[in-house]
Amino acid sequence: MFNPTYIEQCVLRRKRVFDEIGVHGIAVLFSASEKKRSGDTSYPFRQDSDFYYLSGFDEPDAVLILDGATRETILFCRDSDPEREMWEGSRYGIDKAREYFKIEYTASINQWQKHVKELLKGHRQLWTLNRYNKEKKLLQMWHDLYQPHTSQSLPESCMNLRTVLDSMRLIKDEVELELLRHAAKISAFGHVKAMCVAAPKMYEYHVEGEILSEFFRHGIRQCAYNTIVAAGKNACTLHYTNNESVLQSGQLVLVDAGAEWQNYAGDISRTFPVDNDFTPAQRDLYQVVLDVNKKVIGAARAGVTYESLNNLSVELLTQGLLDLKLLSGSLNDNIEKQKYKRFYMHSIGHWLGLDVHDVGGRFEHGQSIVLRENMCMTIEPGLYIPDDVDIPTELRGVGVRIEDNIIIHQDESEVCTDYVPKEIDEIEGLNQ
Ligand code: GLY
Ligand code: MN
Ligand code: MN
């Protein structure tokens, strides 16, 4: 979907990249390619996140070059081709691409190799993201250009553009925040639908279908990741996506589903009873996770470290496990010896943006990263009780995760996903 406001931001982002790479730098980025699924059918196309971040251009077979010397951008893209477009749908073509995407120069993708050889001359650093085969081809071209005894000035070093883009993508601008809020809101609608329809004897994929239908009804074309609908002990498999079991009376069902809106991700988990009500044991376990979810969200704000939030989740969940008698001994000993990891094996959350596990890392200058205004992250405490003989029967194979999406501010964080209930009485009241 063409979003002119996003394109304006792309122009500003490219200016920041020019500032970073300097007059001696040249950056080359490649679009994603269409991927074959089987025979002559393809997976739905998804643009490369970094390429999209700097161009807003959503077609395959494209190359973006940022020339630090001129501070101009060149986009190589597919030519208009009425014959192919009749089969595959319309393309921007080189003229419209220049106009719509506010790029100084555009040219046919067939020309990129010839041009890039010329463009490399006169720059000292080549900046790339070293991921696809296309980058390897580019680096090979750069090596091949070196001839002994020539006086050509070619880049002497290849620099990692990740270092520039990761720190930019970590702090979201207002346009991105609006897209993330929308992705979160539609993701929430999908979860409400799941809570309303789930019932004994349904298959997990029936619930998945209802979530997708709700997403599609709101204009979503793809999920941000594969949907998890995990009934009973399936919830203890963290990346369960099989979704082929039958929901049974008395079970909890854990749903982790997120809509992707204009390439920005929502990522919500909720856990609720297949019947209307939690059993007393499920209720106690759920309440522990819910309290941790709310306390960590309450603590998240600019100036605190990621590590402090993670430690808080470990401390509170471990205390909860002691209260539930799933652990014994002292709080400190259980934390020190990481005994909680039997039940809580992931961390409190991750950055959210163009990717569901967005770029940015958790450390800076060797220390835990400090949260800053307009970072976006998930808060997702969970407890996953194995189906083992030493566990009280009523808690065997019960998994609970409650995941929200938040934007960091100076004071309280903004919860983008509170359209979907998480309090016990709200969930139980939904189908009354
Ligand atoms: N849905 C993936 C995650 O929660 O990290
Ligand atoms: Mn997540
Ligand atoms: Mn998730």
Probe target for ligand 1 pocket from 237, 256, 260, with the most ligand atoms within 8 Å of CB: 256
Percent of the chain with pLDDT strictly greater than 90:
91
Angle at 153 (CA atoms; ends 155, 61), nearest 5 degrees: 50
Which residue has a Cα nearest atom 5 of ligand 1?
357
So which residues are the catalytic ones? 40, 239, 256, 267, 346, 350, 357, 380, 384, 401, 403
Q: Is 225 in the pocket of ligand 1 (CB under 6 A)?
A: yes
Angle of helix 133-145 relative to helix 112-120, nearest 10 degrees, comes to: 50
Which residue has a Cα nearest atom 4 of ligand 1?
267
pLDDT in tens, 180-209: 999 999 999 999 999 999 999 999 999 999
- State the Cα–Cα distance between residues 252 and 268, nearest whole angstrom: 16
pLDDT value of residue 399:
98
- State the Cα–Cα distance between residues 349 and 258, nearest whole angstrom: 15
In terms of C-beta density within 10 A (0-12 exposed, 13-18 middle, 19 or more buried), how is residue 332 classed?
exposed
Compute, in angstroms, the gap from residue 171 CA to the centroid of ligand 3.
20
Q: Is 356 in the pocket of ligand 1 (CB under 6 A)?
A: yes
Q: Please determine, for residue 418, whether its predicted confidence score (pLDDT) is greater than 80.
A: yes
- Confidence grade of residue 142 (pLDDT, cut at 50, 70, 90): confident
Q: Which of 22-26, 109-113, 138-142 has the lowest mean pLDDT?
A: 138-142
Full-model pTM: 0.97
Compute, in angstroms, the gap from residue 78 CA to the centroid of ligand 2.
35
Are 351 and 359 within 8 A, CB to CB?
Answer: yes
pLDDT value of residue 314:
98
Probe target for ligand 1 pocket from 223, 225, 355, with the most ligand atoms within 8 Å of CB: 225
Side-chain-side CA neighbours of 265 within 13 Å: the count stands at 27
Q: Is 240 in the pocket of ligand 1 (CB under 6 A)?
A: no
Q: Is 267 in the pocket of ligand 1 (CB under 6 A)?
A: yes
Q: Which residue, among 358, 420, 377, has the nearest Cα to 168 in the 3D structure? A: 358
Are 383 and 344 within 8 A, CB to CB?
Answer: yes
Compute, in angstroms, the gap from residue 330 CA to the centroid of ligand 3.
31
pLDDT value of residue 135:
85
Compute, in angstroms, the gap from residue 44 CA to the centroid of ligand 3.
21
- State the Cα–Cα distance between residues 338 and 289, nearest whole angstrom: 18
- Confidence grade of residue 146 (pLDDT, cut at 50, 70, 90): confident
- Closest atom of ligand 1 to 269 CA is 4
Distance from the Cα of residue 318 to its chain's centroid: 28
Q: Please determine, for residue 73, whether its predicted confidence score (pLDDT) is greater than 90.
A: yes
- The SS3 assignment for 175 reads helix
Q: Please determine, for residue 419, whether its predicted confidence score (pLDDT) is greater than 70.
A: yes
Amino acid at position 180, single letter: L
Contacts by 141-146 with C-beta closer than 8 Å and gap 24+? 141/113, 141/116, 141/117, 145/117, 145/120, 145/121
- Confidence grade of residue 151 (pLDDT, cut at 50, 70, 90): low
- Confidence grade of residue 308 (pLDDT, cut at 50, 70, 90): very high
- Closest atom of ligand 1 to 357 CA is 5
Q: Please determine, for residue 362, whether its predicted confidence score (pLDDT) is greater than 90.
A: yes
Which residue has a Cα nearest atom 3 of ligand 1?
267
Taking the CB of residue 14, how many other CB atoms lie within 10 A of it? 22
- Confidence grade of residue 130 (pLDDT, cut at 50, 70, 90): confident
Q: Please determine, for residue 312, whether its predicted confidence score (pLDDT) is greater than 70.
A: yes
Q: Please determine, for residue 431, whether its predicted confidence score (pLDDT) is greater than 90.
A: no
Mean pLDDT of the chain: 96
Compute, in angstroms, the gap from residue 392 CA to the centroid of ligand 3.
28
Q: Which residue, among 252, 232, 228, 231, has the nearest Cα to 240 in the 3D structure? A: 228
Mean pLDDT of 358-378: 97
pLDDT value of residue 147:
67
Q: Is 176 in the pocket of ligand 1 (CB under 6 A)?
A: no
- Closest atom of ligand 1 to 225 CA is 1
Q: Please determine, for residue 131, whether its predicted confidence score (pLDDT) is greater than 90.
A: no
Domains along the sequence of the chain with CATH: 4-167 (3.40.350.10), 171-429 (3.90.230.10)
pLDDT in tens, 284-293: 999 999 999 9
pLDDT value of residue 154:
75
